[in-house]
Structure 1
Amino acid sequence: MTPPPIRQGPVTVRVFSQRLSSTPRGARLARRLALHQLHAWGIPHGSDVSDAVAVIVAELAANAVTHGRVPGRDFELRLALVTGSVRVEVTDTCTEPRPPAASGVRTAGPLDEDGRGLLLVDALADRWEVVDREPPPGKTVRAEVDLPGWLSLTARQGSVV
């Protein structure tokens, strides 16, 4: 005799995706759009998750327009509200070597003007990785920030995008 199937509630994944110009203005807009989208999903401005995602998006978008810029090509911001976390993906079309994985992040010197972006991503994200862009060429830097239990429930019940 086979046991009855386990009934699970529906799993809702909300996704936001936007292509932006590979300019400093595009990077600033990515951060603002991310904060707006999180708020629409029920993740309030000023919460730990919102603040962490804002910094992660700002750093990854800045890297995309500074190091991953290909003239005439945009970068893409993608946010996904998945069960228990917010996933941030920033994709560019640069064919240069990929940034190091979390274990290989270079430490900036005390007087260096740059080189801290991936350290911030590493510190704020619960997980992050670099994968090849599909379809090639390029890469996607993906980071996830876990939602606290109360916020996870609120975000699941939030407005549909």
Structure 2
Amino acid sequence: MNPKNTTQVPVPAHDFRVLLSPTPRGARLARLLAVEWMRTRELPYGTVEAAEHVVAELAANAATHGRVTGRSFRLGLLVHADALRIEVTDTRGADLPRQPGRGLLLVEALADRWGIEPGPVPRKTVWAELDLPHL
């Protein structure tokens, strides 16, 4: 591969994205990395704790239900305007949950908004947003 011909999309300094193995260890690492990233950005205490649970549930779902051998899942954390957006993308886009299970019910309770975006094939992204308090 010629490095001159590769294109990389720059990630804004305030965003975080990482590929992780679809295993319990990868899900745990997603939670730990997310907490560290949020704390270094000094996000409010209650937001960090709620987001930690949301990341844990979404990453566990990706590692359990979205697992495809040899394909990683992606964790994304983005701060936009007045909200923290958590995105977990796996490679099992055809498996959209018909009814939220216990984990997604927890996400629904903790997040201000959440949803599922299919594609591009074979992926799907489950996202959640937590409003940031005005300081």
TM-score category by the smaller chain? Answer: 0.7 to 0.9
- Superposition deviation, residue 13 in structure 1: 7.5
- Give runs of aligned pairs for residues 1-161 of structure 1, distance below 5 A: 14-43=14-43, 47-100=45-98, 104-105=99-100, 115-133=101-119, 135-150=120-135
Q: Report sequence identity in percent.
A: 52
TM-score by length of 2: 0.86
SS at match of 1:121: helix
Structure 1 unmatched runs, 5+: 1-11, 106-114, 151-161
Residues 62-81 of structure 1 show CA distances to partners (whole Å, capped at 9, x for unaligned) of: 00010000000000000001
Q: Is the 8 A contact 2:77 2:85 kept in 1?
A: yes
TM-aligned CA distance change 1:140 to 1:53, over 3 Å: same
Q: Number of aligned residue pairs: give it.
A: 124
Greater gyration radius: 1
* Distance of 2:50 and 2:41 partners within structure 1: 16
Q: Give the ranges of 4+ consecutive aligned residues of structure 1 lying more than 6 Å apart after TM superposition.
A: none
* Distance of 2:32 and 2:49 partners within structure 1: 12
SS at match of 2:22: coil
Q: Is the 8 A contact 2:66 2:95 kept in 1?
A: no
Letter in 2 for 1:21: S
Residues 43-72 of structure 1 show CA distances to partners (whole Å, capped at 9, x for unaligned) of: 15xx11001100000000000010000000
Structure 2 unmatched runs, 5+: 1-11
Residues 105-149 of structure 1 show CA distances to partners (whole Å, capped at 9, x for unaligned) of: 3xxxxxxxxx4100100000000010013x321200010000110
RMSD of the alignment, in Å? 1.5
